[in-house]
Amino acid sequence: MNVALAKTETGHALSDAFAVARDRLPGAGKVAEARQQAFEAYERVGLPHRRIEDWKYTDLRALMREVLPLAAPPDAAALKRAAAALKLHAIAGVRRLVLVDGVFAPGLSEAGNLEKGLGIRTLRDVLGAGDARLQAQLLGPENTDSMVALNSAMMTDGIVIEVADGAALTQPLHIIHIASGGTPAAMFTRSLFVLGNAASATLVESYIAAEGAKVYQVHDSLIVSIGDSARLDHVRLIEDGREAFNISSSQVTLGAKAHFNTFGLTSGSSVSRYQATMAFDGEGSRVETNGVNLLNGRQHADTTLFLDHAVPNCSSREIFRAVVDDRGHSVFQGRIIVRPDAQKTDAKMMTRALLLSDEAEADNKPELEIFADDVTCGHGATTGALDESLLFYLRARGLSEKEAQALLIQAFVGEAIESIASDSLRELAISAAQRWLAARG
């Protein structure tokens, strides 16, 4: 069958790449074993395709076709291009941690003079040095999803952040992934964020490209553990180059009375997929997970969220907005599971898509899976165009068509952005949205 052929071809190409790259991948012993297993798990499935339910709307065999070879470590020229790109995307008041072509760049980062209670290391360091506790967390993700498995096999570098119990970080941490724009290549990164009990922190992740970067692939994953009574505010902005691929996964676990406020915005990359699992491990916790896809051209962006209510008395709120122009394709899959003992769960999800062109496409799959009776769960989904009467009203008041649209689009994505708790993070999201609107002309 065709499918099998495609799998074998890409599989072979990649297994050669894995063999070649193996020397460059950190970690021996258990780590190397885990890599091998993960790679075998990946090879059994290959790139996910539409017959795999979770990837129904994002067929990587058709969209990505192949996994590019591992990127070379950045040379001086690459670091220079990355530094230039960084200037354009600098955020004031944050601690920068930069990965260029998937490798930590100490020269562009601020990893010294740490606040009390904050620890920062690199993935390469942790996997190489044999810290069993951190390694166990880093090797935690199962190989059930083939893209997660691939990341587990190939992870090259990343940031490992630990925040001690009771520490309240004042300065947001900003992990920036930069593609320097050399030859077409793939970068594989994995970061870990361990937030202690009663600690609080803010994490920003950005994905950007240096000038001239064309085809490249970002394969990233983030593992987050939030302690009891801790709080994490999180924003991720995908502003990759327009020919880039960004396949990211995250796995978040919350202790008791913990709080996770997360927001994702995708306006860049050609094909992107963000799949996040958020699991409640202690009672009385809350997740707010919100997102916006802003797409045009032939962009394809998939946000797949999985809320796992495994324990009682937790609440979750999901608000998602997609604005799709030209021949863009936005996908939102939201799955909420309420396990048998998770009584008093309060889970709500709302997804809305705004289609700006006749050829734009939006697929929504908001899913509820409920095994406990004393719950309040619901979801809503709408798809439609801009309201003509509102547009006309604004035009009649003197706005151009684009201006009127921009105003209504801002209002549309506003609800998702407003749910960001921190003012400064909200500003980040708003300016990212404005950049997209401005680029639209």
373 binds other proteins (CB under 8 A): yes
Structure tokens, 72: 């070379």
Q: How far apart are alpha carbons 99 and 205 in whole angstroms?
A: 11
**Rounded least distance, CB 409 to other proteins, Å:** 13
Cα-based angle 322, 326, 328 (whole degrees, multiple of 5): 50
374 binds other proteins (CB under 8 A): yes
CB of 166 within 8 A of CB of 117?
A: yes
Among 69-77, 150-158, 367-375, 419-427, which window interacts with other proteins (CB under 8 A)?
367-375
393 binds other proteins (CB under 8 A): no
Structure tokens, 373: 């009776």
Among 24-32, 74-82, 259-267, 382-390, which window interacts with other proteins (CB under 8 A)?
382-390
CB of 146 within 8 A of CB of 45?
A: yes
Among 92-100, 141-149, 210-218, 383-391, which window interacts with other proteins (CB under 8 A)?
383-391
Among 131-139, 256-264, 311-319, 375-383, which window interacts with other proteins (CB under 8 A)?
375-383
- What DSSP element (H or E) covers 9? helix 2-21
3 state SS of 401: helix
Q: In one letter, which amino acid is 196?
A: G
Q: Which long-range contacts (CB under 8 A, 24 or more apart) does 26-29 make?
A: 26/123, 26/124, 26/125, 26/127, 26/128, 26/156, 26/157, 27/127, 27/128, 27/135, 29/130
With CB under 8 A as the contact rule, the residue among 106, 130, 212, 380 that binds other proteins is 380
Among 132-140, 191-199, 258-266, 360-368, which window interacts with other proteins (CB under 8 A)?
360-368
Among 229-237, 309-317, 366-374, 426-434, which window interacts with other proteins (CB under 8 A)?
366-374
Q: In one letter, which amino acid is 204?
A: V
With CB under 8 A as the contact rule, the residue among 181, 227, 312, 366 that binds other proteins is 366
328 closest CA partner among 272, 374, 370: 272
310 binds other proteins (CB under 8 A): no
17 binds other proteins (CB under 8 A): no
362 binds other proteins (CB under 8 A): yes
Q: How far apart are alpha carbons 174 and 181 in whole angstroms?
A: 21
**Rounded least distance, CB 317 to other proteins, Å:** 15
**Rounded least distance, CB 341 to other proteins, Å:** 9
**Rounded least distance, CB 351 to other proteins, Å:** 9
Q: Beta-carbon neighbour count of residue 7 at 10 Å? A: 18
163 closest CA partner among 233, 264, 251: 233
Among 94-102, 236-244, 364-372, 407-415, which window interacts with other proteins (CB under 8 A)?
364-372
CB of 275 within 8 A of CB of 251?
A: no
**Interior/surface letters 206-234, b for 16+ CB within 10 angstroms, e for the rest:** bbbbbeebeebbbbbbbbbbbbbbbbbbb
401 binds other proteins (CB under 8 A): no
379 binds other proteins (CB under 8 A): yes
371 binds other proteins (CB under 8 A): yes
369 binds other proteins (CB under 8 A): yes
Structure tokens, 415: 């609800």
Q: How far apart are alpha carbons 46 and 58 in whole angstroms?
A: 14
357 binds other proteins (CB under 8 A): yes
Closer residue to other proteins, CB minimum distance, 208 or 319: 319
What does the per-residue mask of binding to other proteins show for 316-355, with x meaning CB under 8 A? ------------------------x--x---------x-x
**Rounded least distance, CB 193 to other proteins, Å:** 32
Closer residue to other proteins, CB minimum distance, 140 or 371: 371
Q: How far apart are alpha carbons 79 and 179 in whole angstroms?
A: 10
Closer residue to other proteins, CB minimum distance, 130 or 380: 380
**Rounded least distance, CB 413 to other proteins, Å:** 17
The DSSP code for 137 is: H
With CB under 8 A as the contact rule, the residue among 370, 391, 408, 430 that binds other proteins is 370
Closer residue to other proteins, CB minimum distance, 371 or 393: 371
Q: How far apart are alpha carbons 341 and 400 in whole angstroms?
A: 55
53 binds other proteins (CB under 8 A): yes
Q: Beta-carbon neighbour count of residue 341 at 10 Å? A: 12
Site size toward other proteins (CB under 8 A) is 35
Contacts with other proteins, residue ranges (CB under 8 A): 53, 340, 343, 353, 355-385
